[in-house]
């Protein structure tokens, strides 16, 4: 448990440094990365994936919309649902920041051997399962 927290803190701190100059807050980067390579997701789906509650998410999306990174689109079949998708500008930012971020993180994972990476992947999957 301690180790999980420590490992994640170290990772999260390193990770946040990666997109520090992108003008994104942590939740905003989370949303950007969640929306990347999709045609748009509903508020509900985004909330489930990022663990941001709906009231908060409205504000986060508002600010990203002001920055022209995302766009709302009401679902025509069920008008209660609002989809959020990246704009062209949002996609450009995603395509710039995401690979950078992956590389940045990969630098550290490259310090490990293939078998270590496999073990870590399995360990994390088990951890994930027990805490769902």
Partner DNA sequence: TATTGTTATACTCTATAACTATA
Partner DNA sequence: TATAGTTATAGAGTATAACAATA
* Shortest Cβ 7–a copy of itself spacing (Å): 4
Q: Which of 22, 81, 101, 105 binds DNA (CB under 7 A)?
A: 81
As beta bridge partners, residue 82 has 74
Coil, strand or helix: which one is 19? coil
Q: The tokens of 66 are what?
A: 């002001």
Q: Which of residues 35-64 bind a copy of itself (CB under 8 A)?
A: 51
Residues facing residue 70 across a β-bridge: 86
What is the distance between the alpha carbons of residues 76 and 43, in angstroms, rounded to a whole number? 15
Under a CB-based contact definition with an 8 Å cutoff, are residues 29 and 50 in contact? Answer: no
Q: Does 26 bind a copy of itself (CB under 8 A)?
A: no
Q: Which does 125 bind (CB under 5 to 8 A by kind): a copy of itself, DNA, none?
A: a copy of itself
What residues line the site for DNA (CB under 7 A)? 16, 20, 25-28, 42-44, 47, 52-61, 63, 72, 77-83
């Amino acid at each position: 448990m301690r180790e999980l927290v420590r490992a994640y803190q170290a990772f999260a701190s390193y990770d946040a440094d990666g997109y520090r100059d992108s003008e994104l807050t942590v939740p905003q980067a989370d949303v950007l990365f969640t929306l990347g390579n999709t045609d748009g997701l509903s508020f509900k789906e985004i909330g489930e994936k990022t663990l941001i509650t709906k009231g908060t998410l409205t504000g986060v999306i508002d600010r990203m919309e002001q920055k022209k990174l995302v766009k709302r689109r009401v679902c025509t079949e069920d008008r209660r649902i609002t989809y959020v998708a990246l704009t062209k500008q949002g996609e450009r930012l995603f395509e710039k920041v995401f690979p950078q971020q992956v590389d940045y993180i990969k630098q550290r994972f490259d310090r490990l051997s293939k078998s270590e990476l496999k073990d870590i992947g399995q360990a994390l999957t088990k951890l994930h399962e027990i805490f769902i």
